Structure 1
């Protein structure tokens, strides 16, 4: 799940709008997402398969700091990962912070990253637990397992009650139009967790089916179901993968965690392709970040997600920088998931800022490179902007553009042919700031100058009123 695209082929997305400037006191632009569906995400992953891969970083507990490792990746690479991974939690303190997690998921989606949720779920018969003893090494007896997958038993009811506890949080994301890459019961072909290591019709795959059926029945329509195995030697290795597959009707993405080999052997790559039957495949957990040559050798992976502390313990800064800056890799601000069912007709009108002035195309000129400036509002076409669903701002048939795809403070803005580049993408924040994700900087009137003809620029985020803008509805 609002992500921004660096090439026009896949352009579409969400930008946000604000109350009309005609209101007596227009409010800053409010966060509002162009709704995307699971199918939108799946189709996009299929589109990039073979040519591009989305970068990702997982943020494990504590849930009170749900983007710690994502921020760490940015500090090392200068890039925000294109996928944010979160954990639904198993300790009581983390379960109590699930709302913090969901709030962060909304922020990451708004900033242009897909949202992924993993769940280390405690055994159904305990409310909260530690990892060791409650998840790892807590295998159910065969009799307990039979009860678990039998409708109406106490163990089965306890499991469904556990699912009920996360429904309100997943529902919040659905209400916000945010698809979730949900990866429950992960690494199910290995037996370290209580849900895993049971092949066959009534094994681990059956619990995955029960999980999806139950959450589907709750009316959750925003889940991309990610099924996951590990590159283990147990249970037949790569040849045993089909014995854990729940079926095409239950799986949207097939994923692998290559912990044994660090980078999956071709046998595992082929096993995932074979079982996926044309669905996207991904590397749901990695320790060492894939190198560009590795990604090129197995081009069908649609994303990789570095596991939390392994970001620094298994990778040098230079290795991370090389991969995150590789042309194959899509980071935040470099791709768009098309939205379907968003706000409908794009909003068109004036964009106002400091001093009540309007964003204006100098002289109404349509030549590429024409400066974009502040001017007295006059209702002309040079001040009539369309807030498009692909995160562009358009006037006179062209796009608001950061000159030369610049990323430094003070880079001026201009009008240019719409081309799908990151220099033409803008996302709004709840306080009215307009962010260019490619540069990480914001639409700015230099020094708060309100003189007619003041050319607009990008600049580091600040709280000055000359970075607050009011969009049309």
Structure 2
């Protein structure tokens, strides 16, 4: 354990934006606030289907990540109607029951108007701007439009999956509409205004219509113009993909994230390629709440039919250092969040 006095920026009150948040979310948020600025939770994203990242990380480090990242992508109605299936909800429930922490993103396949031209504009890449003509501005400008009604349909479909998690007692670090300011996803293709409106629509519908109280809202728009406001955001995430084997702390991006808000918010490294060096994070005071390494080639390669750790992005020795560093928390070090003490 690293003993260090918290600087003021890391003193975050565990008050969630949803006034009706349930105890599971409150306990997780309290834990995150308690450790913020003194520990970082290790994390890993799952692949679209069952992938071997966790087993490979364990083989190399002897530890499992504390946070596991999932994706509602294949629950999108425009994918399920084309035969897509998904088991991430079930895997996430099992992960929580085994003592881990759950985060979900949503590569939201456009509700309609998929271009569907191989090889790189198919329906399977319908979350990308290049693969759909769906107009989020048109949808948000006209609540009577088919486009708007399809947004509601899709939000409701994902709310059903979130209800399954809520019913199982699983709090979720919920990160929708990610990387919007990049413009490569359709929800960010028309600029900040319709995307911010969509965030507020989703928040309102999931919170007030579907009564989802187990969500901790992680905003990941990556630019101040896209920030929906402190009353809609619990945690700010940054997705950062530096060059291979670059282990810098990403201090500038940490500071940028702090500038989006007028109050203290937890800042997380919600996606990463190479993992920042914990000693550099300490040196630069860029103490991310958790990291979530992306899947696939960021972790492993397949050679002669066998999957094994790849040092292309984060070298083996660096991964071992990260998972065994006093700053880092792995799954076995996460306390029982079913009984974690709430603050008075």
- CA contact 2:322–2:328 (8 Å) conserved in 1: yes
TM-score (norm 1): 0.57
Report matched runs for 1:285-324 at 5 Å: 285-296=271-282, 297-309=284-296, 310-311=298-299, 312=310, 313-324=312-323
Aligned to 1:208: 199
**Distance change (3 Å), C-alpha of 1:266 and 1:273:** same
Aligned to 1:363: none
- Structure 1 regions of 5+ residues with no counterpart? 8-34, 231-240, 340-388, 391-473
- CA contact 1:186–1:228 (8 Å) conserved in 2: yes
Report matched runs for 1:237-252 at 5 Å: 241-252=223-234
User: How far, CA to CA, are the matches of 1:337 and 1:293 in structure 2?
Assistant: 28
Corresponding position: 1:267 with 2:252? yes
- CA contact 1:112–1:332 (8 Å) conserved in 2: yes
Deviation at 1:43, TM superposition (A): 2.2
- CA contact 1:226–1:252 (8 Å) conserved in 2: yes
CA displacement, residues 307-365 of structure 1 (integer Å, 9 cap, x when unaligned): 002123412221111100101100102022644xxxxxxxxxxxxxxxxxxxxxxxxxx
The aligned length equals: 295
TM-score (norm 2): 0.77
Q: Output the aligned Cα RMSD.
A: 2.9
- CA contact 1:195–1:204 (8 Å) conserved in 2: yes
Q: Which has the higher strand share?
A: 1
Secondary structure of 1:123's partner?
A: coil
- CA contact 1:46–1:279 (8 Å) conserved in 2: no
Aligned to 1:257: 239
Secondary structure of 1:189's partner?
A: helix
- Structure 2 regions of 5+ residues with no counterpart? 4-21, 117-121, 300-309
Aligned to 2:219: 227
**Distance change (3 Å), C-alpha of 1:314 and 1:159:** same
Secondary structure of 2:232's partner?
A: coil
Deviation at 1:133, TM superposition (A): 5.0
Q: Which has the higher helix share?
A: 2
Deviation at 1:267, TM superposition (A): 3.1
- CA contact 1:184–1:226 (8 Å) conserved in 2: yes
- CA contact 2:102–2:172 (8 Å) conserved in 1: yes
Corresponding position: 1:40 with 2:27? yes
Aligned to 1:120: 107
CA displacement, residues 162-212 of structure 1 (integer Å, 9 cap, x when unaligned): 112222221111111110111111001111111115544x23222111111
Aligned to 1:175: 167
Who wins on radius of gyration, i.e. which is larger? 1
Corresponding position: 1:85 with 2:84? no
